Amino acid sequence: MRNEKIAIIGGTGKEGKGLAYRWLQAGYNVIIGSRSTEKALQAVMGLKELVPSEIKQNIDGKMNEAASEEADIIVITIPFAFHRDILETIKPFAQGKVVLDVTVPLVPPKVSTVQIPYNGSAALFAQDILGENVKVISAFQNISFELLLGDKPIECDVLVCGTDKATRELGVRLVSDVGLTGWDAGPLENSIVAEGLTSVLIRINKKYGSLSAGIRITGIEK
pLDDT band at 189 (very low <50, low <70, confident <90, very high): very high
Mean pLDDT of 10-23: 93
pLDDT tens for 142-181 read 998 878 988 888 889 999 999 999 999 999 999 999 999 9
Residue 92, C-beta contacts closer than 8 angstroms, at least 6 positions apart: none
Residues with Cβ < 8 Å from 41, sequence gap 6 or more? 61
Q: What is the pLDDT of residue 49?
A: 95
| pLDDT level of residue 134 (50, 70, 90 thresholds) | very high
Task: State phi, psi for 56 to the nearest 5 degrees.
Answer: -60, -30
Confidence band, pLDDT 50/70/90 cuts, at residue 92: very high
| Coil/strand/helix, residue 5 | strand
We find that the CATH architecture of domain 5-208 is 3-Layer(aba) Sandwich (3.40)
Specify whether the CB–CB gap between 70 and 32 falls below 8 A.
Answer: no
Average of per-residue pLDDT across 71-90 = 96
Band the pLDDT of 212: cuts 50, 70, 90: confident
* pLDDT for 171: 98
CB 167 within 8 A of CB 137: yes
DSSP letters spanning 19-53: HHHHHHHTT-EEEEEES-HHHHHHHHHHHHTTS-G
Q: Rounded mean pLDDT of 78-91?
A: 95
Give the chain's mean pLDDT.
94
Element (H, E) at 194: helix 191-208
Report whether 100 contacts 73 (CB < 8 A): yes
Average pLDDT over residues 44-51: 95
Q: Does the pLDDT value for residue 222 go beyond 70?
A: no
